[in-house]
Amino acid sequence: MKTMTCRQLGGACNAEFTAETFEEISKMSQSHAKEMFAAGDEAHLNAMKEMQQIMQKPGAMEEWMQRKREEFNA
C-alpha cells in the first residue's frame, strides 16, 4: 500500500489517498476532485484549471501521468 496526497496528484490540499496501485489512487483522487468541484472549493477549482492547461499541450498529460506513476512506484 502506498499513500499520496491530493497536492502530490495535482490537487490543492493534503487529503491522503492510500492504494495498492497507481490506477486505484488516481481514481480516488479524481473522485475527491469531483467532490471538491461540486462543493465549489476555490483552491481545487484553480488546481483543475492548471490541469486543463497541461492537457492542452500534446503529450503533456501523458508525461505528467508517467511522472506521477513513477513517484507512486518509488
pLDDT above 70: percentage of residues in the chain: 100
Question: What is the per-residue pLDDT for 55?
Answer: 84
Model pLDDT, residue 67? 94
Task: Give me the residue label for grid cell 481514481.
Answer: 27
pLDDT of res. 54:
85
Domain hosting 52: range is 2-73
The total of structural domains in the chain comes to: 1
Residue carrying C-alpha cell 476555490: 42
Q: Which residue type, as a one-letter code, is found at position 14? A: N
Residue ranges of the chain whose pLDDT lies below 70: none
Distance of CA 70 to the CA centre of its chain: 14
Kindly report each contact of residues 34-43 with a partner whose C-beta sits within 8 Å and lies 24 or more positions away, as own/partner. Answer: 36/11, 36/12, 41/12, 43/12, 43/13
Model pTM score: 0.85
